[in-house]
Amino acid sequence: MKKLLVANRGEIAVRVMRTASEMGIRTVAVYSEADAGSLHVATADEAVCVGAAEPSRSYLDMGAILEAARSTGCDAIHPGYGFLSENPAFAGRVSEAGLTFIGPPVAAMRQLGNKTVARQLATKARVPIIPGTTKAGASVGELRDSAEVIGYPVLLKASAGGGGKGMRLVRSSVELEAAAELASGEAHAAFGDGSIYLEKAIDRPRHVEVQVLGDRHGNMVHLFERECSIQRRHQKIIEESPSTALTPELREKMGTAAIAIARAAGYENAGTVEFLLDATGKFFFLEVNTRLQVEHPVTEMVVGLDLVRHQIEIAEGKPLPFAQTDLRQRGHAIECRIYAEDPAADFLPSAGRILAAAIPHGPGVRYDCGIQTGMDVPVHYDPILSKLIAWGETRDAAIQRMVRALRECVVLGVPTSIELMLDVIGSDAFAAGATHTGFLQEHFASWRPSPEADAIARVAEAAARFASVPATSNGAAQSTETPSPWMRIGRWDMA
């Protein structure tokens, strides 16, 4: 493999390109007109504009992406996550074009990408599933009949994708029709497929997932678990490994179940098998994400592997260089997703210009970042900006390191989730490990940024805006490099 096109944007595109560069593989970025000044464009060896800002006219345009790969002489395409990453039609077209798709076989994607078919596979593999419908595309009447049998509350979910898109909690029959319409519309916009299905909603579950890795020679391993229970709008925002809820015996059972489902589908490459864990320790199959997960760095930190490197090597036909017995979890890792959104306004996405961005450093800290000072955050895409990961020899050490790193992480110009992350990570409830998918609603439903922090941020942002002025009042040129606002702010206090 000599040249790789990354069919994505933002931090995941940058992350894939860095590993490819280490492997001596040249990289090609694709970008929309809105992303011309993005970090992933600057990181790649070459870049091709594939269309307008709207995803359907750029990052979801299969023809434009394949043409970009052809015109730049690429050997392979890595889809990242989101967009076309779980689309078997795209994977098939990549192969038909004579390129290597860095992901699972098309047949496995078709089976596992359809959530209802995946549930059937799990049942055949004797893995417990959540009660729910077994086919996608049911009418509202059929969904209502199933809900009456299963019992409310229920979850409506997209059949063709994940990440919280196309998901709605329904507590009674009067809510179902409107919720189904919204869920289907959101699923169609995100995945090009509006079919939905229904599951029983489990009270206060933990969301625990298992990373699997398989090659084309029949070798399959699991890389242990990640707990992803802290979520907003059914989307994860904080992940960690190991889970505080798993005993060694339960960990082995869940790992064995994940491999059984993957083998049943003929899976290759990296994938994630997701489960819900109830308060009694019973786990239920949820879905399989046939791609690299946003939260894969916590696994890399505790297992000591580069998952993107192994994805590429598996796609090249190489066997896994290790067996299950060679793998161990070491220490504890936590990831905080940093979004351009306002937690005090129901996590509404925000757009604007990044006036200043400071990268946290230090032992055990990793920052997967897709932004830079002066870059515009568009309104058209998922608002994730970066991911902050902290590793420690113990969970307490990882928490302390994450608190320190979050304090050093500065993003000015758009509202972000950084201050909320600080309060969550520093809370007694998080320290106790008592997490579940309703954690934010239970402990932080009335959360608001502190007046002191808000005032400091406003002063720092004003300093950053002043520092970015390109010329003095008499017309003399100034440096366009934006220094740290903390260096420019001068003496001040909160009195």
pLDDT at 253 over 70: yes
User: What pLDDT, on the 0 to 100 scale, is given for residue 451?
Assistant: 77
* Predicted pLDDT of residue 234: 83
Regarding whether 217 and 320 lie in a shared domain, the answer is yes
Q: What is the mean pLDDT of residues 125-154?
A: 89
Residue 265, domain extent: 206-444
- Domain shared by 369 and 411, yes or no: yes
Whether residue 116 lies inside any domain: the answer is: no
Residues 143 and 263 grouped into a single domain: no
One domain for residues 367 and 267? yes
**Residue 468 located in a structural domain:** no
Mean per-residue pLDDT of the chain: 91
What's the pLDDT score for residue 470? 47
Under the banding of pLDDT at 50, 70 and 90, the label for residue 165 is confident
pLDDT over 90 (residue 336): yes
The reported pLDDT for the residue numbered 465 is 59
Residue 409, in any domain of the structure = yes
Predicted confidence at residue 159, as pLDDT, reads 82
At residue 110 the predicted structure's pLDDT band, cuts being 50, 70 and 90, is very high
Is there a domain that residue 62 lies in?
yes
pLDDT of the residue at 172: 94
- Residue 450 inside a domain? The answer is no
- CATH number of the domain encompassing residue 140: 3.30.1490.20
Give the position of tokens 């994938």: 271
pLDDT confidence tier of residue 437, bands split at 50, 70 and 90: very high
Q: Same structural domain for residues 254 and 140?
A: no
Show the CA angle centred on residue 69, arms to residues 64 and 72, nearest 5°. Answer: 120
Task: Let me know whether 228 and 306 are in one domain.
Answer: yes
Task: Indicate whether 118 belongs to any domain.
Answer: no
Is the pLDDT at 485 greater than 60, yes or no?
Answer: no
Catalytic residue among 291, 337, 366, 401: 291
Residue scoring higher pLDDT (165 or 39): 39
Q: What is the pLDDT of residue 468?
A: 55
Q: Which of 148-152, 225-229, 277-281, 460-464 has the least mean pLDDT?
A: 460-464
Residues 68 and 189 in one domain: no
Asked if residue 329 and residue 189 are part of one domain, the reply reads no
Instruction: Please compute the mean of the pLDDT values over residues 397-421 and round it to a whole number.
Output: 97
Higher pLDDT, 493 or 65: 65
**Looking at the domain assignment, is residue 356 inside a domain?**
yes
CB neighbours of 320 closer than 8 A, spacing ≥ 6?
Answer: 213, 214, 215, 217, 219, 221, 310, 314
104-114: buried (b, 16+ CB within 10 Å) or exposed (e) per residue?
bbbebbbbbbb
- Out of 200, 219, 240, pick the residue that ends a domain: 200
Whole-angstrom distance, CA of residue 258 vs CA of residue 224: 10
Taking the mean position of all CA atoms in its chain, how far away is CA 132? Answer: 26
Domain co-membership, 378 together with 413: yes
Same domain, 266 and 405: yes
**245, 335: one domain:** yes
Statement: residue 272 has pLDDT above 80: yes
> Model confidence over 22-71: pLDDT tens digits?
999 999 999 999 999 999 999 999 999 999 999 999 999 999 999 999 99
Predicted local distance difference test score (pLDDT) of residue 484: 45
User: pLDDT class for 455, splitting at 50, 70, 90?
Assistant: low
Average pLDDT over residues 245-251: 98
| Mean pLDDT for the stretch of residues 367-396 | 96
pLDDT at 233: 84
Is 111 within the bounds of a domain? Answer: no
Q: Is 291 one of the catalytic residues?
A: yes
- Average of pLDDT values for 293-304? 98
What's the confidence (pLDDT) of residue 472? 39
pLDDT of residue 132: 86
Does residue 34 sit in the same domain as residue 149?
A: no
What's the pLDDT score for residue 406? 98
- Residue 456 pLDDT level (bands cut at 50, 70, 90): low
Q: What is the mean pLDDT of residues 139-168?
A: 88
- How large is the average pLDDT for residues 251-259? 98
Q: How many domains does the chain have?
A: 3
